[in-house]
Amino acid sequence: MRLFTAIDLPEDFITVLSSALAQFPRLRWMDYKQLHLTLRFLGEVHDKNIGDLINALKNVPVSEFILEPEGSGFFPDRRRPNVFWTGLKSNNSLDRLKLDMEQVLEDFGFPRENRSFKPHITLLRIKHRMAPRLMDKLSETFDALALPLVKVNSFKLFSSKLLPSGAVHSVIETFGD
């Protein structure tokens, strides 16, 4: 099973995002019902190991905290965009959750993730060259959004099935409140 851990987004956050997405009807956005803040992509995990993985993730402490929205951008960068995202401001609580999770996952047998963590929500996967004017308009629109704060008191283990229409995510387990 293809797995990842993530923080679900509240309905009011999704509502504001989806109204902005609707301003660009020609773009093939990620399904707004599937939007999330990925904490750690785990990749393929054998079905027989999922129960043990769930038990390991129960050892990640989750304290309630708030995330603030913070801008938008392109990965890997604006010159060669593959992804358009909206960001969330990192803070000590999110950093602690991520560190604690990395330690539990490393103890379980996953290699430590060495790249820096940029909290973001993938909105669009860019498959073809995008006009600079459109990139500017996306940035202006999403940077100006009045997105609500995100209250975090849990994270989830998701499975991800890749289909021709896009990935479909399903919750396997919730950790925390």
Lowest mean pLDDT across 43-52, 106-115, 132-141: 106-115
Count CA atoms within 13 Å of residue 113 on its CB side: 18
For 139, the 3-state DSSP assignment is helix
For 69, the 3-state DSSP assignment is strand
Give the C-alpha separation, 65 to 177, whole Å. 12
Whether the pLDDT of residue 24 is over 80: the answer is yes
Please tell me the predicted confidence (pLDDT) of residue 162.
Answer: 84
Whether the pLDDT of residue 165 is over 80: the answer is no
Q: What is the mean pLDDT of residues 94-107?
A: 96
Q: What is the mean pLDDT of residues 44-52?
A: 96
- Give the rounded distance of the alpha carbon of 36 from its chain centre: 4
pTM of the model: 0.94
Helix (H) / strand (E) containing 177: none
Local structure of residue 111 (DSSP, 8 states): P
